[in-house]
Chain A
Amino acid sequence: AQRVTQPEKLLSVFKGAPVELKCNYSYSGSPELFWYVQYSRQRLQLLLRHISRESIKGFTADLNKGETSFHLKKPFAQEEDSAMYYCALSVTGGFKTIFGAGTRLFVKA
C-alpha cells in the first residue's frame, strides 16, 4: 500500500539555522513526490515537486529511491518559513495524491 510518513509533528529551529523536514514513502512503482505548504490563514499550496529539481524560497528536496525518502532542506531558516509542511506522493499514471500527516515548522527569532 502507498504511504507517506513524516516522523516529526513539530520542528522548532532558530532563525538562520539549517532545517530538514523528513519524509519517507512506501510505493513499489515510480513515484512522483511533492512538498505542499500551508502558511497561517492561507490555503494549501504546492512548494516544490521532485521532477522539477528546483529550489523554491531556498528549499530543495532530493528524491532518494534507495532510502525511499524525499527530505526537504533549507540551509538558513527564516521566520517567514514558519508553516505546516506536507509531503505528498502521486502514484504513476494515477490521480490520487497521498499526503503525510504534516510537520509544523516553527522558526524562532
Chain B
Amino acid sequence: DTGVSQDPRHKITKRGQNVTFRCDPISEHNRLYWYRQTLGQGPEFLTYFQNEAQLEKSRLLSDRFSAERPKGSFSTLEIQRTEQGDSAMYLCASSNRQGGEKLFFGSGTQLSVL
C-alpha cells in the first residue's frame, strides 16, 4: 500500500465543463475526507465519509459539487459547470478510528479552470 492515491494529478478544463476526481484511501481506513486548498491558505474541509455514508458537507460545497463513496472504498468528487473560482488543489485524506484524527493525505489534484 503506497498511501492515499489521487487521480488525476492535474486537470485543466474550460469554464462550464464538468470534472471528476478520484481518491483511493489507505485500504483499512474507513474515514475519507475531501479538502480544498487555494494559494496561501490551509486546507479547507469540504466533506467527510465514514464507510459509504457521507456524514457532513461544508457550506463551501455548493450544489455543483457532489461526492460519493459507493462501496466504502474509493471516492469521487464531481464538480459540474466549473467556474474559475473552483481552481484549487483538491486534497483527499483518510484515517481510521485507531489513529484518531491523524489524517493521511494524498498528493492532490490541481484543478485549473480557464
Q: Which positions 1-15 of chain B face chain A at CB distance < 8 Å?
A: 3-4
Contact B108 A96, beta carbon cutoff 8 Å: no
Interface size of B in residues (CB-CB distance below 8 Å): 25
**7 residue pairs from A and B, CB less than 8 Å apart:** A4-B42, A9-B40, A43-B106, A46-B102, A99-B35, A100-B42, A101-B41
| SS of A interface (majority) | strand
Instruction: Give the A-binding residues of B (Cβ under 8 A).
Output: 3-4, 31, 33, 35, 40-45, 48, 50, 55-56, 91, 100-108
Per a CB cutoff under 8 Å, which of B42, B50, B56, B104 touches A102?
B42
A102-B41, A102-B42 provided; 19 other pairs, C-beta below 8 A? A9-B40, A32-B100, A34-B102, A43-B106, A43-B107, A43-B108, A44-B43, A44-B105, A45-B104, A46-B102, A46-B104, A49-B102, A51-B100, A95-B56, A96-B45, A97-B45, A99-B43, A100-B42, A102-B40
